């Protein structure tokens, strides 16, 4: 089969896509409005989507706003990310029972077959985030089976962004706003709101996607339609809310571990962990053991953890990262610098969640830019002479 194939689907026929997915046994999850935000939850019809809504985003600020049109995908990403489906916040790993003969019996905790989910409305940055977590959980000999068995059953309907959020910076991270062929997806949509009508350009990214596309009441896309769709994404790319300094960032960060800016950010940082919980690539977990009153039954649960908690670096005698300064620096240098060494790419996809959902609006791009400023920036030579780290006599 030749890929990609493109076709046009009228807004009025959008629900045929949901029907086709359901016929194949998929439960569709995607953007819906809950508690005055666009989150991910079950979508049963296109009317469940945030029709005619958009979001206003800034550091520590998120508000829903009405659009002048009836767009289905006219907003940026919200507080949830797809990791909540692929890498659950709470997961029972096993339970253990001690029987009358004092023998221990262990049972796997995560034995259920995960549901077949269709992710509707996955943005380019989010596809990249999923690809990063694929690498984290499945990229070595030690595969996380909990992740793998969920991931294998996902059908992905991506959306090219028609609206840039106030904290978006995918362009400078080279992760969007257009869905490109080097990341996996099944279908990709571009929403077109033209005088001639409201329709979607759909491109298949996989055989499974192409099969569904064939079933939909589409008409062929003309070169003009393709150009219109490209113009939508180009316009989004021109309107990024933020920009990350791109050139040599990992090197600059790692050469400036004693930069005074770390003290400034620590003064504002709440160590509340919101940034890491909202981040679509942060993957850290802790395990918690529970016992019952008899002591004959124990469970081990895995839950999301954060490098902003003291327990995260607790070892015998105390926590390694005591200060907010060291915790913020660890998070940012891992995300933007050492992630390259560990996983072969940046850990940041430019989605802006850490900026929007920081209660005090700390801006990752602003912090990175401040550390890159020439007047404060250390040189590599200074780093090899860590005089500033020596304790005062």
**Interface positions with other proteins (CB under 8 A):** 34-37, 39, 60-63, 79-80, 84, 89-90, 98, 100, 102, 267-274, 277-278, 288-296, 303-304, 306, 308-311, 324, 356-361
Of the two residues 319 and 345, which places its CB atom closer to other proteins in the complex?
319
Nearer to other proteins, 12 or 270 (CB): 270
Angstrom distances, CA of residue 302 to CA of 40, 174, 290, 320, 327: 22, 33, 11, 22, 22
Name the minimum Å distance from CB 342 to other proteins.
Answer: 24
Least gap, CB of 372 to other proteins (angstroms): 24
Q: How far is the CB of 168 from other proteins (least distance, A)?
A: 16
CA-wise closest residue to 236 among 73, 82, 12: 73
Backbone angles phi, psi at 132, to 5 degrees: -65, -45
Residue 79 or residue 245: which is nearer to other proteins going by CB?
Answer: 79
The 8-class DSSP code of residue 258 comes to T
Taking the least distance from each CB to other proteins, the nearer of 108 and 264 is 264
Q: Closer to other proteins at the Cβ: 104 or 380?
A: 104
CB 269 to other proteins: min, Å: 7
User: 212-223: buried (b, 16+ CB within 10 Å) or exposed (e) per residue?
Assistant: bbeebebeebee
Query: Among all chains, which residue has been given the structure tokens 């690809």?
Result: 131
Least spacing, CB of residue 314 vs other proteins, in Å: 10
**Spatial distance between the Cα atoms of 362 and 360, rounded to a whole number of angstroms:** 6
Residue 44 or 290 having the CB closest to other proteins:
290
If we measure between CA atoms, which residue out of 17, 19, 41 comes closest to residue 30? Answer: 41
Here the tokens at position 119 are 């992710």
Minimum Å gap between C-beta 109 and other proteins is: 16
Four-residue CA torsion sign, 212, 216, 222, 224: negative
């Amino acid at each position: 089969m030749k890929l990609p194939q493109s076709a046009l689907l009228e807004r009025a026929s959008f629900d045929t896509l949901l029907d086709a997915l359901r016929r194949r046994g998929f439960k569709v999850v995607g953007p819906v409005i809950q508690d005055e935000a666009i989150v991910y939850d079950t979508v049963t019809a296109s009317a469940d989507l945030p029709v005619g809504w958009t979001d206003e985003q800034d550091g520590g600020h998120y508000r829903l706003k009405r659009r002048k049109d009836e767009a289905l995908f006219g907003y940026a990403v919200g507080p949830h990310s797809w990791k909540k489906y692929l890498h659950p916040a709470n997961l029972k790993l096993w339970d253990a029972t001690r029987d009358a003969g004092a023998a221990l019996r262990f049972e796997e905790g995560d034995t259920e077959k995960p549901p077949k989910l269709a992710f509707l409305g996955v943005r380019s940055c989010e596809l990249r985030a999923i690809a990063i977590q694929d690498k984290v959980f499945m990229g070595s000999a030690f595969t996380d089976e909990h992740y793998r068995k969920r991931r294998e059953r996902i059908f992905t309907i991506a959306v090219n962004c028609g609206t840039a959020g106030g904290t978006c910076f995918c362009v400078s991270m080279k992760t969007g706003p257009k869905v490109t062929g080097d990341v996996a997806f099944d279908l990709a949509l571009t929403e077109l709101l033209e005088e001639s009508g409201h329709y979607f350009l759909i491109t298949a990214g996989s055989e499974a996607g192409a099969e569904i596309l064939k079933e939909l009441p589409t008409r062929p896309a003309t070169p003009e339609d393709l150009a219109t769709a490209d113009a939508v994404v180009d316009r989004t790319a021109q309107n990024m809310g933020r920009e990350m300094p791109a050139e040599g960032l990992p090197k600059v960060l790692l050469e400036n571990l004693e930069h005074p800016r770390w003290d400034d950010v620590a003064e504002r940082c709440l160590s509340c962990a919101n940034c890491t919980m909202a981040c679509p690539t942060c993957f850290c977990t802790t395990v918690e053991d529970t016992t019952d009153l008899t002591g004959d039954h124990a469970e081990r649960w895995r839950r999301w953890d954060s490098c902003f908690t003291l327990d995260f670096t607790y070892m015998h005698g105390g926590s390694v990262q005591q200060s907010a300064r060291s915790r913020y620096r660890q998070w940012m240098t891992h995300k933007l610098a050492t992630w390259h060494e560990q996983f072969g790419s940046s850990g940041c996809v430019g989605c802006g969640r850490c900026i929007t959902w920081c209660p005090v609006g700390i801006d990752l791009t602003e912090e990175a830019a401040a550390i890159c400023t020439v007047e404060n920036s250390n040189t590599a030579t200074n780093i090899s002479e860590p005089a500033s780290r020596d304790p005062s006599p």
